[in-house]
Amino acid sequence: MSGTSLDGVDAVRVAFNAGHCALERTFFLPYPTTLKQALLALHTPQHNELEQSQLVANQLAQLYAQATKELLDGVPIYAIGCHGQTIRHRPELGFTLQINNPALLAELTGITVVADFRSRDVAAGGQGAPLVPAFHQGVFAHASIHRTILNIGGISNLTDLPCNGAVSGFDCGLGNLLMDAWCQLHTGQTYDSDGIWAASGIVIAQLLNELLSHPFFKLSPPKSTGRDMFNLAWLEQMLKPEYKPQDVQATLLEFTARGIADAVQQYCLGTQALYLCGGGAHNGALKSRLHQLLPFKIALTDELGIGVDWVEAAAFAWLAKQTLEGKSGNLPAVTGAKGYRVLGAIYSAA
C-alpha cells in the first residue's frame, strides 16, 4: 500500500486461514525525495504528464518489487495485492487513477499480481473508495461490541461495524495531508511528530470555520475525497498575513479532529469503541483531541491484532485474495456502486 500521504510503501506478508488474517512480516520502504516530488507534480496537469506518469509507474514497480523481496524470507507467496499510487480520484467524472506497472512487478518478482482495485467499483457507479470496510468487517467486527474503525492517512475514513445492521464506511475528511504539507513548508520536516508543533499554536476560529464550510462536509455518505479537493492551494486562499504558522498547524489539527468527531457522531450512532489505524494514529495531540471530543473508548487496532501501520496493506492482500477466488471486494452500501463486484485485474506470474 502506498497512500495519499506519499511517504512510502507499506508492505506486509499475510497468511489467511479459515477467515483468520495473520501478519507474518512487515516492511516499510520510504519514497526517495525525487519520486515524492514527481508524484506531487502529477496531481496537477503538467507538460508531458503521460510520459512522466509511465516513467514514475516503472519506478514504483521497482520499489514494490524491492519491498516484496524483503518480505519473502524463503516463504512461497501466492499473490501480491498492489494498490498503486493514486494521482487522480474523480468518481464524479467516472474515473480514478492509481499509477502502477503491475505487469513489470509480476516480471520482477515472478509472483502473480492483482492491481487496479478501484476502477470496477467506479464503473459500477461507486466512489471506488473506501475499499477497506469489507476487510474491517471480516477481521474487526464483534458480536456484542459496536466498533468503529478510523483510518487516519492523508485522508481519514471511517468503517462503522454495528453488532446488528449493515456495515457502512466513507471518507470523513482530512487526515495528515494538509498538516504534513504545512509542516514540510514551514519546518522542513515531513510531518509534525506527535503533533508537538500544532500543540504550540492556538486555533484560529475564523480559519477553522472556513475550512469546515467546505461543501464536502455537507454531503451524506457514500462519499470519498483526496488531493483533488483538499490541497495547499485550497488552504492558502483562506490564509491572512497575520496568521502564525504554528497557529495554522493547530487549526489544521483541529480541522482533522472535528471532521472525524462530527462524522462519528452523525453517522456512527451507537459506537462503543473507536479503533485508530494509519499514520495519524501516532499523533498524540490529535488522539488527545479526539478523546476530548468523543465520549467512548478510543484505542489502537494493535489491540485487535493488526498494528496501526499495517492495516491498509493487509486489506489489499485480502482484496487480492477475494479477486483470485472470484469473490466481491466492495460493499455497495459504502461506495454507492450498483452492486457487489469482483475487483482488480490479475497479472499472472507466467
Three-state SS letters, the chain: CCCCCCCEEEEEEEEEECCEEEEEEEEEEECCHHHHHHHHHHCCCCCCHHHHHHHHHHHHHHHHHHHHHHHHCCCCCCCEECCCEEEEEEHHHCEEEEECCHHHHHHHHCCCEEECCCHHHHHCCCCCCCCCHHHHHHHHCCCCCCEEEEEECCEEEEEEECCCCCCEEEEEEECCHHHHHHHHHHHCCCCCHHHHHHHCCCCCHHHHHHHHCCHHHHCCCCCCCCCCCCCHHHHHCCCCCCCCHHHHHHHHHHHHHHHHHHHHHHHCCCCCEEEEECHHHHCHHHHHHHHHHCCCEEEEHHHHCCCCCCHHHHHHHHHHHHHHCCCCCCCHHHHCCCCCCCCCEEECCC
What is each CA distance from 322 to 233, 326, 346, in whole angstroms?
39, 6, 12
Cβ atoms of 316 and 115 closer than 8 Å = no
> Position 142: which residue type?
H
All 3 cell numbers of residue 346? 490479475
What is each CA distance from 299 to 62, 226, 276, in whole angstroms?
36, 26, 6
List beta partners, residue 97. Answer: 88
**CATH numbers and ranges of domains, the chain:** 8-128+311-347 (3.30.420.40), 133-304 (3.30.420.40)
Nearest to 297 by CA among 266, 264, 267: 264
Cβ atoms of 316 and 328 closer than 8 Å = no
Please count the other Cβ atoms lying within 10 Å of the Cβ belonging to residue 119: 18
Say what the pTM is.
0.92
Q: What is the CA radius of gyration of the chain?
A: 19
Whether omega for the bond prior to residue 130 falls within 30 degrees of 0, making it cis, is: yes
Cβ atoms of 134 and 331 closer than 8 Å = yes
All 3 cell numbers of residue 198? 500544532
Spell 304-316 as b/e; 16+ CB within 10 A means b.
bebbbbbbbbbbb
Tell me how far the alpha carbon of residue 330 is from its chain's centroid: 15
Mean pLDDT by 10 residues, the chain (350 residues): 90 90 96 94 91 97 97 94 95 95 98 97 96 94 97 96 94 96 96 97 98 97 92 96 98 98 97 97 98 98 96 96 97 95 95
How much is the pLDDT for 350?
80
